Amino acid sequence: MDSTIWNAVLSLLVAILGWVLREKSAELQRITILLNKTREELAKEYVTKVEVHADINRVLDRLDRLESKIDRLMESQHAIN
């Protein structure tokens, strides 16, 4: 009689442990899928270093041209005075 109760308790504990492990495994799989989707979304929204450098170089080139125009304007104003 004593071993029957002990076997029932152990069987119940193993069943509960199996259920918990199955639930945790399913949750881990769900979180892994969400993490992968998040990584894909981040790649769509952010730029690479190469793109940033190309855009900054375009802005700097434009500023250099503007600076040379201002210098020419200042020289022409200085020559008139």
pTM: 0.49
Task: Give 8-46 pLDDT, tens digit per residue.
Answer: 999 999 999 999 999 999 999 999 999 999 888 877 778
Q: Rounded to whole angstroms, how far apart are CA atoms 38 and 30? A: 12
pLDDT band at 47 (very low <50, low <70, confident <90, very high): confident
Mean pLDDT for the chain overall: 91
Residues 6+ apart with CB under 8 A from 6: none
CA distances from 13 to 10, 16, 41, 63 (A): 5, 5, 42, 73
